[in-house]
Chains A and B, each alone.
Chain A
């Protein structure tokens, strides 16, 4: 017993080292929804959120003109969609009762106060939180394309898991053929690209084709822009294609974003749980 104590005393700094590493690895390997991760994210939101917001209040002015330009383009796109809608309803001559329509998606305007794009576990923080009814598991759309999914929120801030995070998975469709697959961020991708897997190899995919959200999990509306096909790799012997895409959203300058609130999400989840 005495020898054991002597041994521990002799290598005390090494044991201390192991102890600290153990704490680090508990945080590192706990899953995103675990207690450790959530409490870490909450305290992180409180401490880092304020400082990042102060910094973004200053730096926000530097790219104001380019942001305005982006919003203008987005506005024009929306106007185009609206115009198409008007002609359609006039064509039908149908009696249009308001109660027939339910706006399924609400959008909340938010600003990105900090974002990281060079690591493997990147993150984006936005300046809306539980006070604005932002909850975990909501979609976030930028001015050019989708950004990611919220993971945890404090009173005023929310973390977003962007497409450029190694755990990100989302169902998408190839616009031309309507065949669907999953967008993932693999080891060979950097912050401008992602990979779509599970598109069958008989589908004709060519560079430049649009990849859109499928809307299958209720996080995003159907048909939100994800990216454009960059290259297609047909692996011999595999029934699926490996499609490299250019992300539509530019993660080096993401600033104005919309948080998507799906009114029918709960209903959808209930239905899904009844199935299983």
Chain B
């Protein structure tokens, strides 16, 4: 399949998955701490060869699209741009000694499982930390921000790993 068509499809599917499925999950009392996001997987899945500028632009676009659906202007976009900016650094942190295969895009099959888990977890922490900080906009509730970040990140990572096993084709 043409890779551009593939990424456009991924973009659309992840947004619909986010707003129509993941956002409808209701867990009663704990749902104020657990607000999972899976759509940032789009930025994590982009090829390793993509430039920083394109990465941030695509991150901004998908964030803004989710903002449009959730009517929270700028909030998701801001968190996504942060994630896009930090992605190269995250990859540097978790890079194994032999390096990555630059021709493959990051997925659970192209990396070692533990490396991929670290990659997604770090990304989820960065994304949620920024998102909840922007949302609350005050540091007096910092313990609340950390709690939300931790709970939401754990559930998001679980959902993302699950989604990877369901969708990405084994090669």
Nearest chain A residue, comparing its CB with the CB of B131 = A119
Is B124 interfacial (CB-CB < 8 Å)? no
User: How far is the CB of A27 from the nearest CB of chain B, in Å?
Assistant: 3
Partner of A24, one of B16, B53, B74: B74
Q: Which of B30-86 contact A (CB under 8 A)?
A: 31-32, 35, 52-53, 56-57, 60, 63, 67-75, 77-78, 81-82, 85
* CA distance in complex: A159, B31 (Å): 23
A48-B69 CB under 8 A given contacts A16-B53, A120-B136, A252-B26:
yes
Contacts of A23 in B (CB 8 A): 60, 74, 77
A13 and B53 form a contact (CB under 8 A):
yes
Contacts of B71 in A (CB 8 A): 41, 44, 48, 116, 123, 125, 159
Partner of A28, one of B32, B73, B82, B85: B73
User: How far is the CB of A268 from the nearest CB of chain B, in Å?
Assistant: 29
A17 and B56 form a contact (CB under 8 A):
yes
A17 and B141 form a contact (CB under 8 A):
no
* CA distance in complex: A95, B20 (Å): 57
User: How far is the CB of B127 from the nearest CB of chain A, in Å?
Assistant: 14
Contacts of A116 in B (CB 8 A): 23, 70-71
Chain A 28-49: CB-based contact to B (< 8 A → 1; otherwise 0): 1010000011001101100110
Chain B interfacial residues counted at CB < 8 A? 33
Contacts of B111 in A (CB 8 A): none
Partner of B72, one of A26, A43, A119, A252: A119
Contacts of B29 in A (CB 8 A): 190
User: How far is the CB of B126 from the nearest CB of chain A, in Å?
Assistant: 13
A28-B23 CB under 8 A given contacts A21-B81, A37-B73, A40-B73:
no
* CA distance in complex: A16, B23 (Å): 30
A48 and B68 form a contact (CB under 8 A):
yes
Contacts of A190 in B (CB 8 A): 29, 32
Is B161 interfacial (CB-CB < 8 Å)? no
B74 and A27 form a contact (CB under 8 A):
yes
Contacts of B63 in A (CB 8 A): 24
A36 and B136 form a contact (CB under 8 A):
no
A47-B56 CB under 8 A given contacts A17-B81, A27-B74, A120-B136:
no
Q: Which of A168-193 contact B (CB under 8 A)?
A: 187, 190-191
Is A72 interfacial (CB-CB < 8 Å)? no
Is A75 interfacial (CB-CB < 8 Å)? no
Nearest chain B residue, comparing its CB with the CB of A118 = B35
Is B134 interfacial (CB-CB < 8 Å)? yes
Nearest chain A residue, comparing its CB with the CB of B68 = A44
What would 8 A/B residue contacts be, using CB atoms closer than 8 Å?
Answer: A13-B56, A20-B81, A43-B68, A44-B68, A51-B20, A159-B71, A187-B141, A252-B26
State the 5 A-B residue pairs at the shortest beta-carbon distance, nearest first.
A27-B74, A24-B78, A28-B74, A27-B73, A13-B52
